[in-house]
Amino acid sequence: MSKSVVELQQIASQVRRDIVRMVHAVNSGHPGGSLGCTDFLVALYFNQMNHNPSQWDMNGKGQDLFFLSNGHISPVWYSVLARSGYFPVAELATFRKLNTRLQGHPTTHEHLEGIRIASGSLGQGLSAAIGAASAKKLNGDNSLVYVLQGDGELQEGQVWEAAMYAAHNKVDNVIAAVDFNGQQIDGSTEQVLSLGNLQAKWEAFGWKVFNTNGNDMTALNTTIAEAKAAAGKGQPIVILLTTSMGKGVDFMEGTHKWHGVAPNDEELSRALAQLEETLGDY
């Protein structure tokens, strides 16, 4: 590990500041899921993934790749990409504004470093990750491919087409993660369309399943390391991240209300008061 848990937590605090400021600035965007997935993305990009931001190219040969399938949580991804050196941190100020490379949902269209496929319409990222992982196998490249999906997103049928395919074809260089916060736009996943026993579902589809607290940096580091150790053994891997939507900002936590709503000026102040500025605001 290149960074301590404390250092990672400090980065996460800054990323959370970035998220609420970006969303507030344009009065649009998705803070809830972004805050909930902050710890996972920070653990991946600053500790677990083998990647080199200064040598970014589309193919990513010899490097681990990451795909964000639930593209609406773009604020956390943009912040983590910028903070790990893919593009200037100052560019975060352009989020969702006209002519920006930081579109509402991630895209390759504006050639933003770190992004390899568009996402936003849900359910497509796992397939893309499996394709990229298959290309790595053909190329003799032993790197890993990560993909994050929302839990509500698992209601999309394509996810299960991809799950069936990866197990059948032993795509064991993919590590998928599910942001298991139990919330979606219209309410809790239990109310809207129950996911049932997610662990049993993934296992029935032939996947190796890990569970962890997605908002505990120590647990995340341990679990991701275990998942990496389980790669290359004939089975695709999924990590179910138990997270709290809106994590880090007390009035946003644990509710679907902040899925796609921006804080007003007063709410922004209250949020920032809870999040230490550790690396300097953009």
Partner 1 sequence: MLEFELSPSNDTRSGFGAGLLEAGKKNNEVVALCADLTGSLKMDAFQKAFPERFFQMGIAEANMMGVAAGLTIGGKIPFTGTFANFSTGRVYDQIRQSIAYSHKNVKICASHAGLTLGEDGATHQILEDIGMMSMLPGMTVINPCDYNQTKAATMAIAEMEGPVYLRFGRPKVTNFTAPDHQFEIGKAWHIHAGSHVSIIATGHLVWPAVEAARQLEAEGITVDLINIHTIKPLDEAAIVASAKKTGKVITCEEHNIIGGLGSRVAQTLAQHHPCPIHFIGVNDSFGESGTPDQLMTKYGLDAKSIYQAAKNMM
What are the CA-CA distances from residue 280 to residues 11, 17, 84, 87, 168 (Å)? Answer: 10, 10, 14, 16, 47
Residue 141 binding partner 1, by CB under 8 A:
yes
Pairing of strands 183-184, 187-188: antiparallel
Residue 177 binding partner 1, by CB under 8 A:
no
Specify the 3-state DSSP secondary structure of 171.
Answer: coil
| Footprint on residues 45-84 left by partner 1 (CB under 8 A) | 58-61, 65
Residue 132 binding partner 1, by CB under 8 A:
yes
Residue 129 binding partner 1, by CB under 8 A:
yes
Residue 181 binding partner 1, by CB under 8 A:
no
Specify the 3-state DSSP secondary structure of 72.
Answer: helix
Separation between Cα atoms, residue 263 and residue 269, nearest integer Å: 9
Separation between Cα atoms, residue 99 and residue 110, nearest integer Å: 9
Q: Which is nearer to partner 1, 35 or 130 (CB)?
A: 130
**Residue from the set 79, 127, 181, 183 that interacts with partner 1 by CB under 8 A:** 127
Residue 157 binding partner 1, by CB under 8 A:
yes
Span near partner 1 by CB under 8 A; candidates 33-41, 73-81, 128-136, 193-201: 128-136
Q: How far is the CB of 134 from partner 1 (least distance, A)?
A: 6
Q: Which residue has the tokens 């959370």?
A: 16
Separation between Cα atoms, residue 73 and residue 69, nearest integer Å: 9
**Residue 211 forms beta bridges with which residues?**
240
For partner 1, the binding residues (CB under 8 A) are 58-61, 65, 107-109, 116-121, 123-136, 138-139, 141, 157-158, 161-162, 164-165, 168-169
